[in-house]
Amino acid sequence: MIGRSVNRLEDIPLVKGTGRFVADMSLPFQLHMRVVRSPVAHGRIVHIDATEALAMSGVVAVWTSSDIADVPPVDFRDPSAAALLPYRQPVLARERVRYVGEPVAVVFAVDAYTAEDAAEAVLLDIEPLPVLMSASETPAEFEKGYTTEATVLNHGYGNVDQAFADAHTVVELDLELGRHSAVPMETRGAIATYDASVDMLRLYGAAKVPHRNRDTLARMFDRGPQSIHLHELHVGGGFGVRGELYPEDVLVCVAAMRLRRPIKWIEDRREHLVATNHSRQQRHLARLALDADGHILGLDDEFFHDQGAYIRTHGARVMDRTLWSIPGPYRVPAYRGVGHFRLTNKTPAATYRAPGGYESTFVRERLLDVAARKLGLEPEEIRRRNLVRPEEMPYRRTFSQAGVEPLILDSGDYPGLLAKALSAIQIETLKGEIARRRSAGEIIGLGMSVFFDESGRGPADGAIASIDTHGHVELVTGGASVGQGFETVMAQICAEALGVDYKNVRVIHGQTDRIPYGIGAHASRATVLTGNAVHVTAQKLREKVLSFASEMLQTLVANLSIKDGLVTTDGKLGPSISLGEIARRVAPGSPHLGDRAPGLSAEGWYKTDQLAFAYGVHVALVTLDKGTNAVSIERYIVAQEVGRAVNPMLVEGQIVGGCVQGIGGALYEEFNYNETGDPLSATFADYLLPTMHEAPDIEVLITEDVPSPVNPLGLRGAGEGGINGVGATIANAVEDALQQSGVITRLPITPPRLMAKMA
């Protein structure tokens, strides 16, 4: 089953319209919650008047921060530095508001329409305060004793100053990435219900990290984790922003416990654009030192990360991953990275698909392209000369700072994949075509990038597999589905070991009451981490099956195999027995059991402290329109090494989907604000998404040349490689089309920004 492009199991309810999203679910006697949000970016709360709202028929309650003063700020998912704690977001604004869209009050009513009307009737008296709209500006006061620079992180090694002193060529760029984020089909939503008879709180909603969100809620509410259960529903896309713990998720839980009725909340699209996590916005002052032959001597980067108004559940993770990844898959003898983690009066930011990877690849690959032009080298040649070579694997990069984890590339052939990508696009033929078209007056260019992507980060994940008396397999995992084909891939891995049709495996995920621990689905973890846990578990169950079958068939285990749910004797005609029959014969009280536990089930764990690095190459051909300054992508190829593809069709789908998202951030998507902090991108008329018209036919080259040595199945993640290199690749292609050097310094590359460059 592993390696086959079988159809997705999860598609049937979705294409038939029987999917179960948050909006599809309702509970008896539920109340609807509506959030009253700040209309100003920064201000002091003078008074909140809910008199009119409370007088409306059907309104049950209106809360402000004073009504839930005992509820702590939304906590971090992982342990974070104590210095970051004061910057966490309160569930409802206390004394100050810090961005347009911040929750100030909540209304609970018998239906959604009454709740919305009542929310509009809540009157806010907010005294405006000065706004801070740029992380590059001098930090201001966050509150007494704290500035808006929450922390400064440093990553580095080697003698950077000496590297630049010895350099033949130095490249310096001032680079910016615009603020953009994920826009799933379904906006955020949550339903909470509390059963007082058993003291059980249940939260229904999006996936990603249900077990970790359960644990965070348990800490915040000072409850035992087993008294809270989270239930994943269908998800209209995740991409890093769905499934995090937001103030609204906490509020529905608190209300369910206090009002003793189910609470339902769903945001509208404007709320999503102004309140759900933003990401990406950074400004980099980057320098690259090289010798006369184009070999990198040193890299120096100081950057400013625009976190928005508060620090949400990820802490400083995005900035940390950016610093960690900037040298990329190249030999960089000396590196210094300094990241300023600063708050502004914008929507808070967190992770979005390939967090830190998209940003660092843009910076590094822009430096390389400008350096190549300065040294008279082809873009692919400067990369060949600097890429880590196969014989150097595993490649270790140790940072000088205490507490910064080393980067260890497990294995790989980066130059080999670059050669394959260039061969697939027929680079020399393509360059000839570009030259001919330029001579005819076209503005056309070619760009590329090389990247790595960490995946399979531990520490551990587990699974439980069982076979019933009909021979059906149930697989309970600690993973989660965010639309990536999770059920299908886990079923394939399980079916491979048990010798059954993958359609005969029922995959349970995202249900904290079915399995006590789980890692969820984030940071390209699911296939590598949960997949290997499923592999270990299924192998244990296989051993159990064959042990019982050996006794029942009176033959050695070595002579048995499982195919199509039937245990048979190899090499000759002989007796056989179905998995269902074995399950029936090992029911409680069976004489076959001896002192063994009844039933066919197994629990397994996969633990690791090593990362399996995926890596890839992006190449793009673009043209620029002289009249409109618009960028069109004629060709785009992604070559990615995945170690071993469980389902190549799903890998390709992940790559294509990620690439289109990357195109959005490179050319269209940006959250803009005016000078007073008002959002200017709060509808799809202003926040532009790429459509089928803008998306090219993306060519995908999946390679399985170097299975990862750090996990049993040899897997590498594939969820973020499609997006990682897009910003850098398109920027390099546009600059090549302009035949200039160092002029494309900001994403997205919009027609107004190109106008001066094309004059």
Q: Is the pLDDT of residue 589 over 90?
A: no
Exposed/middle/buried for 492, CB within 10 Å: 0-12, 13-18, 19+?
buried
Give the model confidence (pLDDT) of 324-333 as tens digits. Answer: 999 999 999 9
Give the model confidence (pLDDT) of 630-653 as tens digits. Answer: 999 999 999 999 999 999 999 999
**178 within 8 A of 349, measured Cβ to Cβ:** no
pLDDT at residue number 572: 63
Exposed/middle/buried for 735, CB within 10 Å: 0-12, 13-18, 19+?
buried
* Residue 181: inside a domain: no
pLDDT at residue number 160: 98
Return d(Cα 667, Cα 683) in angstroms, integer.
Answer: 17
Three-state DSSP at 306 gives strand
* Rg (alpha carbons) of the chain, rounded to whole number: 27
Confidence band for 64, pLDDT divided at 50, 70 and 90: very high
Return d(Cα 383, Cα 365) in angstroms, integer.
Answer: 9
Spatial neighbors of 191 by CB under 8 A, at least 6 apart, are 22, 25, 26, 27, 30, 203, 204, 205, 252, 262, 263, 264, 265
Q: Which residue, of 607, 639, 673, is where some domain finishes? A: 607
**329 within 8 A of 257, measured Cβ to Cβ:** no
Residues 574 and 719 in one domain: no
Q: 3-state SS of 635-691?
A: EEEEEEECCCCCCHHHHHHHHHHHHHHHHHHHHHCCCCECCCCCECCCCCCCCCCCC
Q: How many CA atoms lie within 13 A of 285 on its CB side?
A: 7
* Residue 165: inside a domain: no
Instruction: Please report, rounded to a whole number, the percentage of residues in the chain having pLDDT higher than 90.
Output: 93
Q: Is the pLDDT of residue 425 over 90?
A: yes
Q: How many CA atoms lie within 13 A of 358 on its CB side?
A: 34
Q: Which residue, of 607, 633, 651, is where some domain finishes? A: 607
Return d(Cα 455, Cα 357) in angstroms, integer.
Answer: 12
| Mean pLDDT calculated for residue range 551-562 | 93
Return d(Cα 282, Cα 304) in angstroms, integer.
Answer: 6
* Residue 273: inside a domain: no
Q: Is the pLDDT of residue 139 over 90?
A: yes
Residues 436 and 326 in one domain: yes
pLDDT at residue number 522: 84
Q: Which residue, of 266, 293, 324, is where some domain finishes? A: 266
* Antiparallel, parallel or unpaired: β 473-477 and 505-508: parallel
**347 within 8 A of 309, measured Cβ to Cβ:** yes
Residues 193 and 89 in one domain: yes
Residues 672 and 705 in one domain: yes
Give the model confidence (pLDDT) of 596-608 as tens digits. Answer: 889 999 999 999 9
| Domain CATH code at residue 250 | 3.90.1170.50
Question: What are residue 180's DSSP bridge partners?
Answer: 279
Spatial neighbors of 391 by CB under 8 A, at least 6 apart, are none
Q: 3-state SS of 379-393?
A: HHHHHHHHECCHHHC
Write out the two tokens for 219.
């800490």
DSSP 488-557: HHHHHHHHHHHTS-GGGEEEE-SBTTT-S----S-TT-IIIIIHHHHHHHHHHHHHHHHHHHHHHHTS-G
Residues 506 and 574 in one domain: yes
Q: Is the pLDDT of residue 344 over 90?
A: yes
pLDDT at residue number 340: 98
Confidence band for 76, pLDDT divided at 50, 70 and 90: very high
Confidence band for 571, pLDDT divided at 50, 70 and 90: low
Q: Is the pLDDT of residue 159 over 80?
A: yes
| Amino acid sitting at position 570 | D
Residues 389 and 477 in one domain: no
pLDDT at residue number 282: 98
Return d(Cα 310, Cα 159) in angstroms, integer.
Answer: 35
* Residue 51: inside a domain: yes
Spatial neighbors of 528 by CB under 8 A, at least 6 apart, are 455, 456, 612, 708, 711, 715, 716, 717
Residues 88 and 205 in one domain: yes
* Residue 178: inside a domain: no
Residues 539 and 489 in one domain: yes
* Residue 183: inside a domain: no
Return d(Cα 366, Cα 729) in angstroms, integer.
Answer: 9
User: What is the domain count for the chain?
Assistant: 3
Q: Is the pLDDT of residue 573 over 80?
A: no
Return d(Cα 713, Cα 667) in angstroms, integer.
Answer: 38
* Residue 160: inside a domain: no
Residues 468 and 602 in one domain: yes
464 alpha carbon, distance to own chain's centre: 25
Q: Is the pLDDT of residue 177 over 70?
A: yes
Query: What is each CA distance from 322 to 151, 188, 283, in whole angstroms?
Result: 15, 27, 12
pLDDT at residue number 757: 81
Q: Is the pLDDT of residue 758 over 80?
A: no
* Residue 686: inside a domain: yes
Helix residue ranges, H only, 107-178: 112-121, 160-165
Residues 227 and 356 in one domain: no
Write out the two tokens for 206.
């999006």
Share the mean pLDDT of the chain.
96
Structural domain that includes position 489: 460-607
Write out the two tokens for 592.
């076959």
| Domain CATH code at residue 465 | 3.30.365.10
Q: Is the pLDDT of residue 744 over 80?
A: yes
Return d(Cα 299, Cα 163) in angstroms, integer.
Answer: 8
Spatial neighbors of 51 by CB under 8 A, at least 6 apart, are none
Give the model confidence (pLDDT) of 204-233 as tens digits. Answer: 997 899 999 999 999 999 999 999 999 999
Residues 406 and 484 in one domain: no
Residue with tokens 């999006």: 206
Confidence band for 576, pLDDT divided at 50, 70 and 90: very high
Residues 376 and 308 in one domain: yes
Q: Is the pLDDT of residue 759 over 80?
A: no
Angle, alpha carbons 66-67-70 (nearest 5°): 80
Return d(Cα 462, Cα 475) in angstroms, integer.
Answer: 11
